[in-house]
């Protein structure tokens, strides 16, 4: 079985490059010193994010193809959070020489397939030797008509979240324990995030969302970013947080993992009261469920309350690469 060290950087590239077809924005595709793309009518959104073996996943948690797919999808989620339309991406790979060449082709194919499904072209990349596997994707998107950030939530706005929360964190917990049990759907959510591109675009372009973020590090932590940047507080009604059937069956509805577990890649947005009716009217166009889970308040920081309005104290708010335990 060939290892990357056997075929080398240029052996890999000579087999990959012919598989990368140009897209509508491509002027010069991969294989030159730079790619060239046509400028868009609107501003561009740019984001970059890496998946690192041993940090984001352990060996055996993801297939090579899933690593590729996920490295694209987590970036697409950031674009969704600002309502953008993904256009082109760059891929940087760090790979140990012992890595099987076949797996690297599968990884690359995973990126290209996920990109293509989001109408995105891979226009360039880089391959470097590394002690452990990492994949970094830079994604460029066309901005929507208006720009929505984390900075314009106002007191009285409702807080909404798409999909369900806590599944990916449950999946990771099971992968760590080596007991998959009934949690295979939760593990699938960890392996294959569902970036809410359609919902994000609609929530921004319609004017419904006043502030938005994707939930990547945990609900309380990510809502905390909106609060800090908008200089407001927030109340989450824990019993309204949407949970999947799998989550309810495995952990029970009272479990707090959904409040702080990471990697949901759902959208969290605030909606002014005057726009709530429009959100209700357009709910079916979002392509995913959306649930009101609380309200922006005066003050600072995120409070979580139960169905009786009692304050819950949380041990964790979410994931931090440099202060969270492994």
Which positions touch Mg ion (CB under 5 A)?
78, 214, 216
Q: Is-contact 257 169, C-beta < 8 A? A: yes
| CA distance linking residue 316 with residue 174, whole number of Å | 19
Q: Which is nearer to Mg ion, 78 or 266 (CB)?
A: 78
| CA distance linking residue 268 with residue 150, whole number of Å | 10
Read off the DSSP letter of residue 216.
S
Cα–Cα–Cα angle for 128, 131, 136, rounded to 5 degrees: 50
Q: Which is nearer to Mg ion, 103 or 266 (CB)?
A: 266
Question: Measuring CA to CA, how many Å separate 208 from each of 148, 160, 201, 203?
Answer: 10, 11, 10, 5
Q: Which is nearer to Mg ion, 30 or 83 (CB)?
A: 83
DSSP 186-211: HHHHHHS----HHHHHHHHHTS-EEE
Q: Which token pair is 17? A: 């490059």
Q: For the CB of residue 165, give the shortest distance to Mg ion in the complex, in Å.
A: 15
Q: For the CB of residue 81, give the shortest distance to Mg ion in the complex, in Å.
A: 5
Q: Which is nearer to Mg ion, 233 or 318 (CB)?
A: 318
Whose tokens are 């009217």? That residue is 281
Q: Which is nearer to Mg ion, 214 or 264 (CB)?
A: 214
Q: For the CB of residue 215, give the shortest distance to Mg ion in the complex, in Å.
A: 8
Residues with Cβ < 8 Å from 10, sequence gap 6 or more? none
Q: For the CB of residue 176, give the shortest distance to Mg ion in the complex, in Å.
A: 23
Q: Which is nearer to Mg ion, 72 or 99 (CB)?
A: 72
206: left (phi over 0), alpha (psi -120 to 50) or beta: alpha
Q: Which is nearer to Mg ion, 53 or 214 (CB)?
A: 214
| CA distance linking residue 79 with residue 271, whole number of Å | 19
Q: Which is nearer to Mg ion, 214 or 263 (CB)?
A: 214
| CA distance linking residue 118 with residue 135, whole number of Å | 19
Q: Is-contact 22 101, C-beta < 8 A? A: no
User: Closest by alpha carbon to 137, among 17, 50, 216, 55?
Assistant: 50
Q: Is-contact 173 260, C-beta < 8 A? A: no
């Amino acid at each position: 079985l060939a290892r990357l060290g056997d075929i080398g950087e240029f052996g890999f590239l000579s087999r990959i490059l012919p598989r990368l077809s140009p897209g509508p924005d491509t002027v010069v595709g991969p294989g030159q010193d730079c790619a060239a793309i046509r400028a868009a009518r609107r501003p561009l959104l740019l984001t970059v994010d890496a998946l690192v073996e041993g940090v984001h996943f352990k060996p055996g948690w993801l297939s090579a193809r899933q690593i590729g797919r996920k490295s694209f999808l987590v970036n697409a989620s950031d674009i969704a959070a600002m309502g953008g339309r993904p256009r082109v991406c760059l891929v940087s790979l760090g790979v140990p020489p012992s890595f099987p060449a076949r797996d690297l082709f599968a990884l690359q194919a995973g990126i290209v397939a996920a990109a293509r499904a989001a109408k995105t072209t891979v226009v360039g990349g880089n391959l470097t030797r590394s002690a452990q596997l990492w994949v970094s994707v830079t994604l460029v998107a066309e901005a929507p008509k208006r720009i929505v950030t984390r900075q314009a939530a106002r007191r009285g706005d409702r807080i909404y979240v798409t999909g369900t929360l806590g599944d990916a964190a449950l999946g990771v917990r099971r992968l760590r324990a080596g007991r998959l049990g009934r949690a295979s759907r939760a593990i699938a959510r960890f392996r294959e995030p569902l970036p809410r591109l359609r919902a994000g675009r609609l929530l921004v372009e319609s004017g419904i969302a006043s502030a938005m973020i994707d939930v990547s590090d945990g609900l309380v932590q990510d809502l905390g970013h909106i609060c800090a940047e908008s200089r407001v507080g927030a109340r989450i009604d824990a019993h309204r947080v949407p949970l999947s059937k799998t989550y309810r069956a495995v952990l029970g509805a009272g479990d707090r993992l959904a409040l702080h577990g990471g990697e949901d890649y759902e959208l969290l947005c605030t909606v002014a009261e005057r726009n709530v009716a429009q959100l209700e009217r357009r709910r079916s166009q979002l392509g995913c469920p959306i649930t009101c889970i609380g309200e922006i308040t005066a003050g600072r920081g995120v409070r979580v309350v139960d169905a009786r309005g009692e304050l819950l104290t949380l041990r964790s708010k979410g994931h931090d690469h440099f202060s969270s335990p492994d």
